Chains A and B, each alone.
Chain A
Amino acid sequence: MTFLSYLISGISLGSIYAIIALGYTMVYGIAKMLNFAHGDVIMVGGYMSFIAMINFGWPPLLAVLFAIVVCTVLGILIEQLAYKPLRSAPPLAVLITAIGVSYFLQNAALLIFSANPKSYSSVIPFDALRLFNGQLVISGTTIVTIIVCIVIIIALNTIVNKTKIGKAMRAVSEDKDAAQLMGISVNKTISVTFAIGSALAAVAGVLLCSAYPILMPTTGAMPGIKAFTAAVFGGIGSIPGAFLGGILLGIIEILGKAYISTQLSDAIVFAVLIIILLVKPTGLLGKKVLVKV
């Protein structure tokens, strides 16, 4: 029974990683850039919902919406100001700019909200679920996190595969120039991708803070790195891959913490990643790219 409860909390943590990883993977798939500021957008989402609930006294649902709107606008703003001028620059220049944006967001948060950790009250009002005569307790946050993750995956899959903008996204990720020639606005498509990614980051921020209720300017950094790992794990650029990678990473982390060593849990996660990449160098569901000579 304890194993089952560990497994469920692993899936719940994995769901959060998966939602963040989706943002990474979509941006990577379309703009071919590693957006290292993504983790800090999560933190902004956490703070925005916190302010809305505590300072404005808004109901949780409205607070979540507020966080989503702010992060979406922020995502588009970052893209327009920092990444768009670098569209033709070498990838490393974009990477460093993303790191600059990450520093900026962290330090802005440090100035506005101070370094003192804020204790976040969960936005999820449901009671914990008790099964098998109370032997297995699943908190409301856990259930909602998993459900939200599944809904997001289904919605994203529909958007990417069934809608016109999704088609544009796939086209841009396949070949930017050819897409442009077909009349697709590449800039608009990239902006939409950033908007979706940032909205997802806001949701992830709220869920993360609900599950681990400590909010600091550096809250997003480690989950950001781990979600990035999850995206690579599943094959970067692939949406189902990000989902699978996130869930697996969450399960490995929680089980590693429970059965092997609390201090070494991160090391275990990364060791598994290395092994996977050695066996499948493009991740679990990644496309194999053939190099023509």
Chain B
Amino acid sequence: MRSLRLRSNIDNLLTYGLVIIAYIVMRILITSGNISSSLQGQLVPITAYIVMAVSLNLTVGVLGELSLGHAGFMSVGAFSGVITATLLTDTIPMTWLRLALALLIGGLIAGIFGFLIGIPVLRLQGDYLAIVTLAFGEIIKNVMNTIYLGYDANGIRISMESANALQLAEDGKVILNGPMGAIGITKLSTFNAGFVLILITLFIVLNLINSRSGRAIKAVRDDKIAAESVGISSWRYRMMAFVTSATLAGAAGALYALNYTTVVARKFDFNTSILVLVFVVLGGMGNIRGSIIAATVLTVLPEVLRAFNEVRMLVYAVILILVMLVRNNLTLRQLFQKIGIKRRNSLANNKEGDDS
């Protein structure tokens, strides 16, 4: 037990170290001007996607349930974060505090949604659970597309019909404009803020995984009935993982949205959920460091592939298929094992291999 704990501690330190070193390297590159402007524009989205991937890994890898609607929580967080930031423009002049509050509120509201959605979702299992999360993701996208919200001196107004139906006073401002999405956002997100959010996420997720609750969550994943028979409330721990995951996704959504001047609900659709899922599976289920690396590499990859011009997304698809084929090829796996490249975090990998 002690050696296990020591190993997981070293493992966690490695993860933190990786993020911090990557951050320092990027900072140096930015100050010395050795970074292309397109990559620099990608920095905040990369940090948001890393948080998304780590949080989804909590659901998919640690809790062991496939979620196909993670972008829905990102959406909730994004829009509530934008609303918070806009409403607080006059009250709080410090941008960093406004951003922090926006991320906090975005996360909290997404967490509340996670709890409400979790009540029906967690009653199901396997593919049926997956399809219901997909359904919730689509519903959130659809509803967000029809909300109009604005504010003036008299307060906040909401409508489902049109921006004119808000009947705002002269000084009023529309924040959500239905299918046009959130408009007129003040860009608050910075690479530094993204970095801090990643560290907070890692702190929450890694501590949860290595805590008593985390072990309970994994016990429920491995065998629900056996876990319940020794007195672990499966509902409670499944909900704990699901809500934490949703909360972090919400914060990531707020960070992502506050990096642009406009954000539409369509951005957080099924494809985004799938994209994040690809990060998690490629990085290794339950492997937090893997999620971080996969999210970074796969977000940068299309940029790097610009040399291929038109065929870049085609190349991306081929790489994705080839990686999956190579990773799951038995002969190659045995070959790697023979020459001694054993992957660490064997616990997570064993679980993946046993699934079939």
Instruction: Tell which of B123, B142, B282 touches A263, judged by Cβ atoms closer than 8 Å.
Output: B142
Q: Is B127 located at the chain interface by the 8 A CB criterion?
A: yes
Nearest residue (CB) in A for B224 is A291
Chain B interface residue bracket vs A: 35 or more
B325 at the interface (CB under 8 A from A): yes
Shortest C-beta distance, B226 to chain A (Å), equals: 8
Question: Does B316 belong to the interface (CB within 8 Å)?
Answer: yes
Is residue B262 within 8 Å, beta carbon to beta carbon, of the partner chain?
no
Residue from A88, A225, A281 in contact with B330 in the complex, judged by beta carbons closer than 8 Å:
A88
| Contact partners of B131 in chain A: CB under 8 A | 228-229, 232, 273, 277
CB closest chain-B residue, reference A110 = B313
Chain B residues whose CB sits within 8 angstroms of the CB of A104 once the complex forms: 314, 317-318, 321
Q: Mark A92-112, 1 if CB is under 8 A from B, else 0.
A: 110111011101100110110
Which residues from B are CB-within-8-Å of A88?
Answer: 330, 356
Indicate which residue in B123, B313, B321 contacts A281 across the interface (CB closer than 8 Å). B123
How many chain-A residues does the 8 Å CB contact rule pick out?
44
Determine whether the beta carbon of A103 is less than 8 Å from that of B313: yes
Known A93-B328, A270-B135, A278-B120; judge A101-B355 contact (CB<8 A): no
- Contact partner of A100 (CB less than 8 A), chosen from B324, B355, B356, is B324
In the complex the two chains form, is A264's CB within 8 Å of B143's CB? yes
Given A91-B355, A99-B320, the answer on whether A267 and B142 have CB atoms closer than 8 Å is yes
- B-chain residues with CB within 8 Å of residue A34 when the two chains form the complex: 127
Find out whether the CB atom of A90 lies under 8 angstroms from the CB atom of B320: no
| Binary interface encoding of chain B residues 123-147 relative to chain A, with 1 for a CB under 8 A from any of its CBs, else 0 | 1100110011011101100110110
Task: Give the nearest-CB partner of A270 in chain B.
Answer: B135
Complex Cα distance, B264 from A8, in Å, reads: 34
Restricting to A238-289, which residues have a CB under 8 Å from any CB of B? 261, 263-264, 266-267, 270-271, 273-274, 277-278, 281-283
Q: How far is the CA of A30 from the CA of B127 in the complex (A)?
A: 15
Q: Pick the contact of B314 from A92, A107, A236, A281 — CB < 8 Å?
A: A107
In angstroms, Cα B138 to Cα A270, docked, is 7
**Residue of B131, B281, B316 ringed by the most chain A CB atoms within 10 A:** B131
Residue B97 interfacial (CB < 8 Å): no
**B317 and A100 within 8 A (CB):** yes
List, in ascending order, chain A residues with CB within 8 A of B127's CB. Answer: 34, 232, 236
User: Are A293 and B142 in touch, CB under 8 angstroms?
Assistant: no
- Is B120 within 8 A of A103, CB to CB? no
B76 to chain A, nearest CB (A): 14
Q: Are A225 and B225 in contact (CB under 8 A)?
A: no
Contacts of A264 in B (CB 8 A): 142-143, 146
Extra inter-chain contacts (7) besides given A89-B356, A97-B321, CB under 8 Å = A82-B325, A88-B330, A100-B324, A107-B317, A264-B142, A266-B139, A291-B225
Name 8 interchain pairs, CB-CB below 8 A, sorted by A.
Answer: A92-B66, A93-B324, A93-B328, A111-B314, A270-B136, A270-B142, A274-B136, A293-B225
Which residues of A come within 8 Å of B, CB atoms? Answer: 34, 36, 82, 85-86, 88-93, 95-97, 99-101, 103-104, 107-108, 110-111, 225, 228-229, 232, 236, 261, 263-264, 266-267, 270-271, 273-274, 277-278, 281-283, 291, 293
B interface, CB within 8 angstroms of A: 60, 66, 120, 123-124, 127-128, 131-132, 134-136, 138-139, 142-143, 145-146, 225, 270, 274, 277-278, 281-282, 285, 310-311, 313-314, 316-318, 320-321, 324-325, 327-330, 352-353, 355-356
Question: Top 8 closest A-B pairs, CB basis?
Answer: A270-B135, A89-B328, A104-B317, A103-B317, A100-B320, A90-B355, A267-B142, A100-B321
